[in-house]
Amino acid sequence: MAPMRLGLTLPQFGPFSDPLLVPQLAAEAEALGFESLWAGERVHAATDPITPYPGGAMPEQFRSGLDPLLVLTLAANATTSPLLGTSTLNAPLHPPIHLARSLAGIDRLSRGRLIAGFGLSWSRDEYDAVGVPWRQRGARLDETLDVLAALWAADPVQHSGEFWTISPGHFQPKPAQRHVPIYLGGVSPAAFRRIGRRADGWLGVALPVEALRKTMADIDDEARRAGRGPIATAVRINAQTTGPDEQLVDYLHELAGLGVADAFVDLQFSTTTPAEFLDRAARIRHGFRP
């Protein structure tokens, strides 16, 4: 079993929503030894949301945020080795041909370091804001995956589906990787079935260890039913909810023991300045040695 990679979320929200910070903190994270860097997505921070934020009130940090594709582009240009992932990019909110173009460009800029992580978003306000029907979100995610596979295959490319039609033509440049890893989020049975059938990895959440063990086993069962191999897991950890850094590091070691491929820590909700961000990142990196 390969050692678990330790990652970090990139500066993006709240006091960190300054594009000038991204190259600086990305390069510092690489120098500290972080092996993956991640960006998330919030399209709209509604003041009176139709669907409530999971777990309580929406964090104030989401009132200001950078586009995840901009963030990954800046990080790709500032680093040489960490993997670059989205956790998550809410795929149904985007025309898939635009996603295919942007993600292919980031993969080429980073020389093949992209992990394309997709989700559905919990926010109906975001779907309304971009004019996409809320009830079609799962079907649109499935077809988005079909479009990406078609466009990243050999030319000429084409696609004909329920939501999008792409006439035969050429799509260049392709991603640097022959196969861009696709990770999907979600904790429902339907999400697990989709992950088992279609994904290379699961974008997990920081559950208690035994609950996480069961979830990983359930996803692998779905993959076996689909005639596929085990699914990798990448777990996002919000450092605001884990207590002292020593406790967070202990949890990271437990994740490594489960066979988690990647764990990445989000410090944007527990720090307010770049110096504080990097200081805490350094303590976590030095504390966790697989």
Q: pLDDT, tens digit, for every residue of 156-171?
A: 999 999 999 999 999 9
Angle formed by the axes of helices 245-258 and 209-225, nearest 10°: 30
Q: How far apart (Å, rounded) are the C-alpha atoms in residues 166 and 183?
A: 24
Comparing CA positions, the residue from 288, 290, 273 lying closest to residue 25 is 273
pLDDT tens digits, 125-152: 999 999 999 999 999 999 999 999 999 9
Average pLDDT, the chain: 96
Q: How far apart (Å, rounded) are the C-alpha atoms in residues 119 and 246?
A: 31
Q: What is the pLDDT of residue 56?
A: 81
Comparing CA positions, the residue from 70, 28, 31 lying closest to residue 275 is 28
* Number of Cβ atoms within 10 Å of the Cβ of 225: 11
Domain ranges for the chain: 5-287
Whose tokens are 């025309």? That residue is: 95
Q: How far apart (Å, rounded) are the C-alpha atoms in residues 89 and 16?
A: 19
For β-strands 232-238 and 262-266, DSSP reports them as: parallel
* Number of Cβ atoms within 10 Å of the Cβ of 48: 5
The superfamily in CATH containing domain 5-287 is Luciferase-like domain (3.20.20.30)
Q: What is the pLDDT of residue 239?
A: 87
Q: What is the pLDDT of residue 290?
A: 76
**Token pair of 24 as six digits:** 């600086």
Three-state secondary-structure class, residue 61: helix
pLDDT confidence bin for 55, thresholds 50/70/90: confident
Least confident among 4-13, 54-63, 89-98, 184-193: 54-63
* Cβ-contact 113, 105 below 8 angstroms: no
Residue 230 DSSP one-character state: -
pLDDT tens digits, 221-239: 999 999 999 999 999 999 8
**Token pair of 13 as six digits:** 């929200």
Query: Is the pLDDT assigned to residue 1 strictly greater than 80?
Result: no
For β-strands 165-169 and 157-160, DSSP reports them as: antiparallel
Q: How far apart (Å, rounded) are the C-alpha atoms in residues 112 and 27?
A: 18
Q: Percentage of the chain surpassing pLDDT 90?
A: 92
